[in-house]
Structure 1
Amino acid sequence: MLVGDRGMITQARVREDCAPAGLDWITALRAPQIQALAADDGPLQLSLFDERDLAEIESPDYPGERLIVCRNPALAGERARKRRELIEATEADLQRIKDRVRRARHPLKGAAAIGRAVGAVLGRRKVGKHFHCTITDTDFSFERDEAAIAREERLDGLYVIRTNLPAEALDAPATVRAYKSLARVERACRKCGEYSKILHDRSLDWLPAGHGRRALQLCGLWPGKVELQVP
């Protein structure tokens, strides 16, 4: 069974690699795919979470697959906070450009020059989709796209796990736990940089038999193999 993030197990990989090999897999949907499911007539409706934080849905866009929708209130709060900070910081930078364009002495002129300055700001924090900007040769104005912000906010804390495993093989809670095990692998592999620095001049015998050696195994720096266990 393959467990990978949304960038690793893509639709193309499912179609071209996993399906021909008969492999089972677990991955997650990207934000645009979740937004499509949450459209007005889509299968992902927020009322599913009135009394619980996990629901299983079906979609004709994913035939023969299971979609498990999870809600994490703590993650929702963190995403809302981060978005708010990024938007406010970008808004402050855009206001400075607006002031430069409208000042009396030596204003910033020309749509191309203004556009370059605005583009640099919007690209810095990746929140350009949350603003409407109007640029001319002699003026610049902007405003928040409140509708776009609201659409994104309503999905804060939601993530959708996608798998071809039947429920008889792995029920919804176990599938979620299997996907979350990926985070433990990623944390272990981040240790590899730290471990690799000391492999040149120290014996490996000092490493404990638990997480230290397991991290090296996951990263290919220790002989043998490690198997992930689904709790």
Structure 2
Amino acid sequence: MFEGNRVDTQTLLPQVKRIQAEFGITRLAIVGDRGMLSQTRIDELKETPGVDPSVDWLTALKSSAIRRLVVDDRLQMDLFDERSHFELVHPDYPGERLVACRNPSLAEHRANKREALLQATTQELEAVAALIERGKLRGREQITRRVERLIASGGLTEQVSLEIGEALFTYRLDDPERAAAALLHAFDKHLEQVRKRIACATLKGRSAIEARLRSIAKQYKLDSHVLFDVSEAGFSYHISDQQTALAAAVDGFRQALERIRILVAQGKYGGRDKIGVRLGKVIDKYKVGKHFILDIREDGFAFQRDERKIAEEAALDGMSIIRTSIDSNRMSAAQAVLSYKSLSQVERAFRSLKTVDLKVRPIHHHLGDRVRAHIFLCMLAYYVEWHMREAWRPLLFCDEDIEAKAQRDPVVPAERSDAALEKIHSKTLADGTPAHSFQSLLNALSGIVLNTVRIPGSFDDTATFDIVTTPDHTQQRALDLLQKIQM
């Protein structure tokens, strides 16, 4: 066992060394999934001192590697019309065997699932678009940024009182005279920036200077009240009627705030960030964002399916490629596929350990040795359980013809035998007795009890004897099957 902060992939090589050293095993084959036996781990197996170079391995290619083989035309896809799997070689995998597999049932399932997810995502994207159209997608943060930017540009941060909500805001100009003075001060500061640009020669030419000055005057609603005298070297200005001009500036500021308020009330002020966040939630919900092309704007968005990427993924539906260093004389292609698929038994074992039967957690020990002992006992318990399940196959809802299972096509989905289906449908065995699950059979066996019997009238504690209840037909048969276990 390793410390809890140890990554799974870092436990492989130490265990390989330990198995070879303690048990003297020279021919060892490791079966691991694509995450455990990555290219990095395979290279380490070949190069790490202390690991016998004869150690073989069996894993599968990741989808990106399979896609490269398809793009490079290294896979003859039409061969799947005649068989479910075939072997191939590739220069990127020297000295290795590749077994390409395609499961039509899995391909159909994935295609249907992908289409269902795409349709669900499309519906939710259309719902978001409808929210934007109806003005239901808005936000306090976007309103605040827009209003505060307007107020700051006029130098009126201290002159305006705001109340901003998710879908509306109100404002009040506290002192119009002070607001007018603040606007004039902001106007002067803006013009001073233009003078600095002229001095630094970043703004040149009389026409360019005039255009910039007119733009600033229009921004402050003073374009009809201010006169500019512009030259190549600079400018001066004069406000004809300052009181009227400042009143117009304050009124223009009010109009600008009012326009924002109307836009907010109409729901036209959503914002690109707000829309993007909402779309991100939809895309992440079904994990199909890579299949959509989004165009997000300030006032809405557009989307469409990325048919090219969908087609590329669909080409790999139901496909897997087994990768192994084991020679064909020792393991056929079908056996390689079955060996990799046997990893599902490991997953079932962990599920049984963690949740279903043995429930290894919670672990109430704190010392390392006790935790290891706890896990070891659970592993022993699962070992016993596995043998019990195999021995009780005739009594459970299980297939009994193990040889037929070994001879079936290794790629296509497994199917229950007619005998197993009959047990499931009728819930009885061939002799008419009830068929059981593993748990129900254990419950049936719990009816066998040890009774301690005391002779009537006896007061001596030694005058007792033990008797075990007689097993019924099912209980006796289960006990007889357990006697046949050979560990």
Fold match by TM threshold 0.5: yes
SS at match of 1:38: helix
Is the counterpart of residue 27 in structure 1 residue 59 in structure 2?
A: yes
Q: 1:130: how far off? A: 0.7
**Quick one: distance in 1 between partners of 2:114 and 2:80?**
23
Match of 1:11 among 39, 43, 46: 39
User: How many angstroms apart in 1 are the aligned matches of 2:382 and 2:340?
Assistant: 28
Return the match for 1:42 from 64, 67, 73: 73
SS of the residue 1:9 aligns to: coil
Give 1:185's match in structure 2, choosing from 331, 346, 352: 346
Is the CA contact (8 Å cut-off) linking 1:101 and 1:108 kept in structure 2? no
Matched, 1:211 2:386: yes
Out of 35, 49, 55, which is 2:86 matched to? 55
Q: Specify whether residues 169 and 198 from structure 1 end up closer, same or farther in structure 2 by C-alpha distance, changes over 3 A only.
A: closer
- Alignment partner, residue 283 of structure 2: 122
Task: State the secondary structure of the residue aligned to 1:191.
Answer: helix
Amino acid at match of 2:102: R
Q: Which runs of 5+ in 1 are unaligned?
A: 215-230
- The structure showing larger relative contact order (alpha-carbon pairs under 8 Å, at least 6 residues apart) is 1
Determine if contact 2:84/2:102 at 8 Å carries over to the other structure. yes
> 1:210-229, aligned counterparts within 5 Å?
210-211=385-386
Per-residue deviation at 1:213? 7.1
Output one character per residue of 1:90-115: Cα deviation in whole Å (capped at 9) or x when no partner. 11111111122222542562221111
Contact (CA 8 Å) 1:100, 1:108: kept in 2 or not? no
Change (3 A) 1:169 1:136: same
Answer yes or no: is the 8 Å Cα contact 1:135–1:141 preserved in 2: yes
The CA deviation at 1:192 is 1.1
Residues 42 and 6 (structure 1 numbering): CA distance in 2 closer, same or farther, change over 3 Å?
same
Residue 50 of structure 1 deviates from its aligned partner by 2.1
Deviation for aligned residue 1:144: 0.7
Offset at residue 175 of structure 1 (A)? 0.6
1:166–1:207 Cα change, 3 Å: closer
- Superposition pairs of residues 124-163 of structure 1, within 5 angstroms: 124-163=285-324
d(CA) in 1 for partners of 2:60, 2:295:
36
Identity %: 41
Aligned partner of 2:459 in structure 1 is none
Residue number in structure 1 paired with 2:111 = 80
Query: In the alignment, which of 107, 125, 129 is matched to residue 94 of structure 1?
Result: 125
**Change beyond 3 A, Cα 1:121–1:103:** same
Distance 1:13 1:120 in 2: 36
Matched residue type, 1:17? L
Q: Aligned equivalents of 2:306 and 2:283: distance in 1?
A: 13
Distance of aligned partners of 1:136 and 1:102 in 2 relative to their CA distance in 1, 3 Å threshold: same
C-alpha deviation, 1:197, in angstroms: 3.3
Distance 1:31 1:198, change over 3 A: closer
Match of 2:357 in 1: 195
Once the two structures are superposed, what CA deviation does each residue of 1:184-227 show, in whole Å capped at 9, x if it has no partner? 11112111123343899xx999989452779xxxxxxxxxxxxx
Alpha-carbon separation, structure 2, partners of 1:8 and 1:206: 26
In structure 2, the partner of 1:224 is: none
**Does the 8 Å contact 1:18/1:24 carry over to 2?**
no
Q: 1:190 to 1:107 in 2, by over 3 A?
A: farther
Normalised TM-score (structure 2):
0.41
TM-score of the superposed pair, with normalisation by structure 1: 0.82
Cα distance in 2, alignment partners of residues 4 and 140 from structure 1: 45
Aligned pair in 2 of structure 1 residues 114, 143: CA closer, same or farther (>3 Å)? same
Distance 1:16 1:86, change over 3 A: same
> Structure 1 residues 123 and 52, CA, compared in 2 at 3 Å: closer, same or farther?
same
Secondary structure of 2:74's match? coil
**Aligned partner of residue 8 in structure 1, secondary structure:** coil
Q: Cα distance, 1:45 vs. partner?
A: 2.5
1:142 deviates by: 0.4
Instruction: Report the secondary structure of 1:132's partner residue.
Output: strand
CA RMSD in angstroms comes to 2.7
Q: In the superposition, relative to structure 1, how do residues 16 and 96 fare at CA in structure 2: closer, same or farther (>3 Å)?
A: same
Q: Which runs of 5+ in 2 are unaligned?
A: 1-28, 136-265, 363-376, 390-405, 407-487
Q: 2: distance between equivalents of 1:175 and 1:148?
A: 31
How far does residue 72 in structure 1 lie from its aligned partner after superposition? 0.8
Partner of 1:221: none
Indicate how the Cα distance of structure 1 residues 161 and 107 shifts in structure 2: closer, same or farther if over 3 A, else same: farther
Deviates more, 1:126-135 or 1:97-106: 97-106
Q: Any idea what SS the aligned residue of 1:59 has?
A: coil
Letter of the structure 1 residue corresponding to residue 56 of structure 2: D
Q: Is the 8 A contact 1:25 1:165 kept in 2?
A: yes
CA distance in 1 between partners of 2:93 and 2:120 (Å): 38
Q: Deviations over 1:145-187 (max 9, x none)?
A: 1121112112211111111112122111111111111111111
Q: 1:128 to 1:196 in 2, by over 3 A?
A: same
Asked if the contact 1:207/1:213 (under 8 Å) is kept, the reply is: no
Instruction: Tell me if structure 2 keeps the 8 A contact 1:108–1:114.
Output: no
